[in-house]
Amino acid sequence: MRFQFPFFILLFGAAPAILAADAPASFTSDQLEFFEKRIRPVLVSQCYKCHSHSSEKLKANLYLDSREALLKGGETGPSIVPGSASKSLLIAAIKWTKDDLEMPPKNKLSDTAIADFVQWINTGAAWPKEDAKTAAVATAASYAAEYDRLRKELWSWQPIKHAEAPAVKDTKWPKSDVDRFVLARLEEKNLAPSGPADKLALLRRATFDLIGLPPTPEEIESFLRDVSPGAFEKVADRLLASPRFGERWGRHWLDVARYAESSGMTRNLVYKYAWRYRDYVISAFNEDKPFDRFITEQLAGDLLPAGSAAEKDRLTVATGFLTVGPRDYNERNPRQFEFNAADEMIDTVSRAFLATTVACARCHDHKFDPIPTAEYYALAGIFVSSQEKAGLAPRRGLVNLINQYDDDQLIPLGGYRPKPAEKQTEEQTRAEARESIRKFVIASRSGDFSKPSAPILPLAMGMQDERRPSDIRILNRGEVKEPGDIVRRGFLSIPAIKHPPTISPGQSGRWDLARWITSKENPLTARVMANRIWGHLFGQAIVHSVDNFGTTGEKPTHPELLDYLATQFVNDGWSTKKLIKSILLTSTYQQSAAFEKSKFAIDPENHLLWRQNQRRLEAEAIRDAMLAASGQLSATPSTASIALDMPPVPLGRGVNGRGLANPAELVAGNSHRSVYLPVFRNLLPEALDVFDFADNANVTGQREVTTVAPQALYLMNNPFVIKQSRAMVDRLATAKLTNDPARVEYLYKLALGRPPTSLERDRAVNYINVFLRDPKAATQRDPYDNKYNAWASFCQALFASAEFRYLN
């Protein structure tokens, strides 16, 4: 079937204009974090000896310790051209593409570091505002004074305050104290909230927010018939009790946990058992596991007491949180690999639970937040004293294929003990890999990858303590070859906790770290999660920089409300479901998303919440909604992952390169929910990639939302979309409706969660008739008859409409 684009225009109008990618007026907090974590440490350790204001002898008249200096350059001209790495001399220098311009001169930077510099320049070469000379020669005393000031003044590190709900003029609108906090701010600006959303818009909004699926026609009719005051609360309770809730909210957490099923970076290797952690997360949200316990299990589940072997296994799987991040398995220095892995874990833990960028202190005292390098290495000692078990090991020797997969590098479950692997020659390893690829490619031509082909090898990714945990030395400038003083394992001095846990000499300290993070004296943890929950229900959080509560992050729009929510969260036993329900039942959440010009003029970004935000669905919800509307969505969870069937070779090279190009596309016909699709780093299924899937190399508390041409092309031409359109027509046939207006109404309810207006119904019926009279439609060769094609085209137009992709 060919998509009839003119008829799509007839039905829904032209698509919105594609947004131009203009250069940002200022750098985002994420861009600055990337610079502090990935760029500045390399500049400090590799460049500043010869190219900074602290250099004993400046070389090539080139400074690299400020953005202005990089733009000016040295004897050979400007060092960078923001937005164009290919035109930047700095990139040519670090790639060693010119014989007379190789920097650093002795040891070339790793491929990962070079890629970071390319990304940094291409995205504008973010650099925080600071005086280069001051930054380069800042003394310990000046840092101490600034740190002391920040400890006392930064809002996020102050104790959570009990806030009484303010008095408001309009006493009828608020349903709860949450509404009073919101209304008080609106009344300060002489604004009034919007009216309530209509019942169908509210039902669709809540259903997608809680389970990530559209309401069924039966649920729509039931809600419309229920005119009782508690009708919407019944809906909320039903959705919160659904097993689909964990699939929806577990996916939110997987974004934060930077979940993926491969290592990414220079040697993209498969994590065959990452899916166990995915399933653990879904289960944890379904059972409403208290969030403080959820944190503890992910950091130290292997150290917690267990009442049974099954519980012990579950707690072990929970620590997969620390192991599913990106790793550079091309790194041949095991000590460097160990510290790189610890750094990635520190970054994930601090941003996920505390919204604090601790990893910036690896090479130098944090430039903005009061986190000295010594405290970074106090945390690093905890993770270096732990063993990461991911089924892989750092590269050894010069083997070009793969000798890195090893079941001994996984954790056995249920008392299982893997057989020792037989030693193989390099040629045996190559031959085994070739045969494994051959079998996998053959299976991919007709195989169903929704289930593993062999019984599931009971193994898991996770963490274990080293036999002899110990404190470590500070690495000067982050260099493993330049160890400094030993620092005791411990925690940050901020936020201030009167009686922090003491790390036992015989343990890594991960359990103690979890207790420090979940302490009721720690004001960050509850604030951060309450802010994340609010953000998912409104499309923007109270603190917009959800992963950064530091000095480079944004301040809360409603600080008292955030503290109120954080207090409620803790008092309700850290219950995610209770906090979600309390927000759903507010007048604030239930507002209409209708646009009002006068209010927009005062608060264009809706910071004051004078209406509910119109929000685009995430990639998973768009795909799942198509499957739900077509009747093809599988009601059962997926079993394991395609990763189990994959040969032990790198991804992204193609078969001739002894690897696999994009195995994610092998599950294009999978009808399970999108949370169960494989997410290999840099090789996502198109259905996820085109609609702004999370950056699974980093903690992602809030996804980007873009409008680009490939999205429209995907909805017009992708075989998956066309297949679901046809399946929707098959579903229509089973409804046994007797006339076209009734068929149109049924399809509208399936796709958009509402019946059509009379005008929409008439236009749709006319569309079908015009399609049938079109000479091209009548003569095209197709196994389906023309009327079938007409309805399939209409269903596809519904999928391609803006209303299908957005919540009001």
Mean pLDDT, the chain, integer: 87
d(CA 720, CA 702): 27
Average pLDDT estimate for 95-119: 81
pLDDT per residue as tens digits for the range 289-324: 999 999 999 999 999 999 999 999 999 999 999 999
Indicate whether 134 pLDDT > 80: no
Question: What is this structure's pTM?
Answer: 0.87
* 326's tokens: 């990106």
CA atoms of 411 and 403, how far apart (whole Å): 19
- What crossing angle do the helices spanning 199-211 and 231-241 adopt, rounded to 10°? 20
Domain borders along the chain are: 5-16+717-807, 29-137, 199-242
Amino acid in position 511? W
pLDDT category, 218, cuts 50, 70, 90?
very high
Give 659's pLDDT tier (boundaries 50, 70, 90): low
Interatomic CA distance for residues 532 and 537, integer angstroms: 9
At which residue do the structure tokens 């019926």 appear? 765
Matching residue, tokens 């917690």: 304
The first and second tokens of residue 526, run together, are: 């509850």
Lowest mean pLDDT of 431-435, 688-692, 704-708, name the range: 431-435
Q: How far apart are CA 567 and CA 178, in angstroms?
A: 12
Question: Mind listing the pLDDT tens digit for each residue in 5-40?
Answer: 334 433 444 333 323 333 344 787 778 878 877 888
Give the containing element (helix H, strand E) for 472: strand 472-475
Of 538 and 154, more confident: 538
DSSP string, 40-80: HHHHHHHTTTTSSTT-SS--TT---SSHHHHHH-BTTB-S-
Map tokens 């509210």 to a residue. 202
Supply angle C-alpha 587, 588, 594, rounded to 5. Answer: 100
pLDDT at 128: 80
At 778, the pLDDT band (50, 70, 90 cuts) reads low
240's tokens = 């919160």
Q: Mean per-residue pLDDT for 488-493?
A: 93
Kind of pairing between the strands at 462-465 and 386-389: antiparallel
Strand partners, 411: 460
For 396-410, letters b (16+ CB in 10 Å) and e give: eeeeebbbbbebebb
DSSP run (H or E) holding 616:
strand 615-616
pLDDT at residue 142, as a whole number: 61
Which of 74-88, 114-128, 596-610 is most confident?
Answer: 596-610
Tell me if 613 sits within 8 A of 595, measured CB to CB: no
The two structure tokens encoding residue 625: 């909604």
- Given this model, what pLDDT does residue 798 score? 97
Most confident of 672-686, 778-792, 794-808: 794-808
User: Where does the pLDDT of residue 780 fall: very low under 50, low under 70, confident under 90, or very high at 90 and above?
Assistant: low
Could you tell me which of 133, 125, 146, 138 has the C-alpha nearest to residue 53? 133
Please tell me the predicted confidence (pLDDT) of residue 147: 74
Residue 185 has pLDDT above 60, yes or no: yes
> In this predicted model, what pLDDT tens digit does every residue of 231-290 receive, in sequence order?
999 999 999 999 999 999 999 999 999 999 999 988 889 999 999 999 999 999 999 999
The Cβ-side half-sphere exposure at 698, using a 13 Å CA radius, reads 17
- Evaluate the CA torsion angle 661, 662, 668, 670 in order and state its sign: positive
> Residue 403: what pLDDT?
61
Counts of helices then strands in the chain (DSSP H, E): 33, 8
State pLDDT tens for residues 556-597: 999 999 999 999 999 999 999 999 999 999 999 999 999 999
Mind giving me the DSSP string for 164-184? PPPP-S--SS-SSHHHHHHHH
Mean pLDDT of 738-763: 95
Q: Of 2-16, 118-132, 147-161, give the lowest mean pLDDT range.
A: 2-16
654 burial (CB, 10 Å; 0-12 / 13-18 / 19+) is: exposed
pLDDT of res. 256: 98
- Give the helix, strand, coil percentages of the chain, each rounded to 5: 50, 5, 45
For residue range 337-357, list pLDDT tens digits in order: 999 999 999 999 999 999 999
**Between 456 and 541, whose confidence is greater?**
541
Q: What is the pLDDT of residues 543-559, one digit of tens each?
A: 999 999 998 899 999 99
